[in-house]
Structure 1
Amino acid sequence: MVETVVSMGLPVDERLEIKKNRLMPEETSDNMKRIGIVTGTHGDELEGQFVCYELNQRIQKHPEYLHGIVDIYPAFNPLGIDSITRGIPMFDLDMNRIFPGSEEGPMMETMVSRLMSDLKGADMCIDIHASNIYLEEMPQVRINEETADQLVPYARLLNVDFVWIHAAATVLESTLAYSLNMIDVPTLVVEMGVGMRITKDYGYQLVDGILNLMKEMGIWSGPVESVREPLISSDRAIGFVNADHPGIYLPDARIFDEVMRGDVLGKIVDPLTGSVLEEVKAPITGKVFTRREYPIVYSGSLLNRILGGAEE
């Protein structure tokens, strides 16, 4: 059942509407579990659109397996999606920097406050993001270290390749995930793929994981695929690779590649003179989980991230 969660007036007789699709079994009970699937907070991150579609398809084909409530929010920022804009156009705001909002605040704070109210009381939320147009990310869950003990067991069920536990100081309190976790709605942030694209393989992988998590929660009783055991960052080094020179980056290493310290990951070249400005080398031994996709780089541009082994 499609419901309008937020409806607010805009100039020129238009309306900002945020909708969800609520899937639930025919027979309901007061103690049913509820999971929210949220995406589209950033308008240039589209990987979650396919996840919402595919999850809708699988549940609707087998409603007999559904024993709880699944709320699917494919477009938290519909204005951004419509205009292919990361933030909220006209308001020049990053939507993921104004949570939890306020009913008494400006228009956008009122909007996010109502979204928070709608998600309040859920037993789980999956907040799906993509990378930007510059980088590709391995399917991963990102977790604040303050909530790691609670959330890592759930993240292991989600069929991602990597769980990145961030230091608390690097996690902004104004994000949806932080705000929901603070009101006891366990929330996992998924990052995967590339901005402005849909990577279907990553989408299938995550949907398998969501169904697996739903089965563990008692929301889904249908068959599920076996899930992969993710690498956990807590006892591993993270190697950041940044450009020293401006130019055109030609990467050789791919996502998931295992590399040794000193291996060449790619090169930065000058198309005017035909010269190689820099051979980009791995600072540690490990697995590539972030890869530069956009070829134009400047000094300091992020090129790769590498997850080191425990010995690092």
Structure 2
Amino acid sequence: MNRDHEEGFDRRDFMIASLGAVGAAAALMSAPALAQDATTPKAEGGTVFTGDIISGKKVISTLDIDTLEPGRHFFYFQGVQMPTGQHWYVSVAVIKGEKLGKRVGLISGVHGDEMSPIHTIQTVMAALDPAEMSGSVLAVYDLSRPAVEDMTRRWHNSGRGMDLIDMNRLFPGNENAPDAPVRHAGLVFNRLLRNNLDYAIDFHTAATGMDATSFHLARMELPEVREMAELYPIDHIFDNVAYPSILPNALIDVGIPSFTPEIGRPRIFDHEMIPLFVEGTMNVLKHHGVIAGEIGRTGKDSGVVIGDAMAPVITTHGGFVELLVELKEKVEAGQKVAIQRNTFGEIVAEYTAPRSGEVLARRTDATCEEGMIILSFLFDSTVPEGGDQIVE
């Protein structure tokens, strides 16, 4: 499970709503210490400064927000070492209020091709005034730093001949694993996140080659998660556990309610969707008393549709795909939704919706290999086929 080599809108297993158990590789990497590193200091409380300064920002190897003075703080967090012996550094900001209160984390860069989350968090952080805040907001901008540098979804790990590692299959990580990305996940999780947060929001987008509506992946059976997720004026909420080793699940496992907003297309700043997620995030901060003010628009205003299952359309051939439906469009089971042609323009396949639902994701690349998801439909599995889908 911690090696996901599928391209496209990379939530394939839970789109089909058929989740497997954690694979043996993931279990191995998240097990107790597998390699010894006596030089790695242990996180025992207190912010640890390495003594280094990069571009005027102090470098830390452990964060303890309680030790910081009220105000704005900018750091580079020292992540795992590169093959050259230098470190990957994660950009971190903390805004700490004058009064005690809840601690909220805003996280981006788990996948390196997702730009709108970074812009969303930058916008929220710029709007906060520590003199008027209670509690704190921790921003992590580029958690998977090498992936962000390359604007690729996955971490290019040289440990086994340049593996492509999806960081969002590795949490909570293991600081002593024989694998750099897993160690990095453990460092970030243990020394930056888990001891500094009461709530967390892990922002993402669709993967390269795909587009999606404004939606959340959220475990709606958890009351505190549901309360936060419904504060966003978005299109859809996918109520699903997803992979066990994604960051929100790892945070939930240690008592930190968390969920995943998905902000449209990858590799760009989606200026139509970003304001929706900024407004929703400000609503969350107001809800938790971090900032004052009236709650803005929420899911009730946008008519958010909540579904607990995905029905994908998967290609049976390679070729050029013409999609016949748009994002948010309602479809009926059996409706023709895509045509595929070969290089001569001959039709090699026609695709229909496997069941009724709303279009949540669609492929943007015209070419497609066989076995790839080109469309995904959100639906409520508790509603019989032909019944009205739940709108909340």
TM band (smaller chain): 0.7 to 0.9
SS of structure 1 residue aligned to 2:277: helix
Pair 148,300 (structure 1): closer, same or farther in 2 beyond 3 Å: farther
**Aligned ranges 1:1-312 → 2 under 5 Å:** 1-12=73-84, 14-25=86-97, 27-29=98-100, 32-59=101-128, 65-91=132-158, 92=163, 93-106=165-178, 107-117=180-190, 118-121=192-195, 122-144=197-219, 148-166=222-240, 171-229=242-300, 230-234=304-308, 238-272=310-344, 274-308=345-379, 310-312=383-385
**1:81 Cα shift?**
0.8
Q: How many residues align?
A: 300
User: Residues 136-192 of structure 1: CA distance to partner in whole angstroms, max 9, x if unpaired?
Assistant: 1222222357x54542232111333222122x5xx3333222211111011112223
- The answer as to whether partners of 1:20 and 1:72 remain within 8 angstroms in 2 is yes
SS of structure 2 residue aligned to 1:185: coil
User: Residues 89-128 of structure 1: CA distance to partner in whole angstroms, max 9, x if unpaired?
Assistant: 2343322222212333344444322311221241110011
SS of structure 2 residue aligned to 1:199: coil
User: Residues 221-243 of structure 1: CA distance to partner in whole angstroms, max 9, x if unpaired?
Assistant: 13543122322214xx6432222
Provide the C-alpha distance between the structure 1 equivalents of 2:349 and 2:214, rounded to a whole number of angstroms: 29
Which moved further from structure 2: 104-113 or 48-57? Answer: 104-113
Unaligned residue ranges in structure 1 (runs of 5+): none
SS of structure 1 residue aligned to 2:245: coil
Q: Structure 1 segments of 4 or more deviating over 6 A?
A: none
Unaligned residue ranges in structure 2 (runs of 5+): 1-72, 386-392
- The answer as to whether partners of 1:65 and 1:222 remain within 8 angstroms in 2 is no
Pair 290,108 (structure 1): closer, same or farther in 2 beyond 3 Å: closer
Provide the C-alpha distance between the structure 2 equivalents of 1:159 and 1:231, rounded to a whole number of angstroms: 11
Q: Which has the higher helix share?
A: 1
Pair 154,303 (structure 1): closer, same or farther in 2 beyond 3 Å: same
Pair 180,308 (structure 1): closer, same or farther in 2 beyond 3 Å: closer
User: Residues 249-277 of structure 1: CA distance to partner in whole angstroms, max 9, x if unpaired?
Assistant: 112311111223343323212232x2233
TM-score by length of 2: 0.70
- The answer as to whether partners of 1:256 and 1:288 remain within 8 angstroms in 2 is yes
**1:300 Cα shift?**
2.6
Pair 228,149 (structure 1): closer, same or farther in 2 beyond 3 Å: closer
- The answer as to whether partners of 2:263 and 2:277 remain within 8 angstroms in 1 is no
Provide the C-alpha distance between the structure 2 equivalents of 1:7 and 1:275, rounded to a whole number of angstroms: 51
Provide the C-alpha distance between the structure 1 equivalents of 2:330 and 2:173, rounded to a whole number of angstroms: 43
CA RMSD of aligned residues (A): 2.4
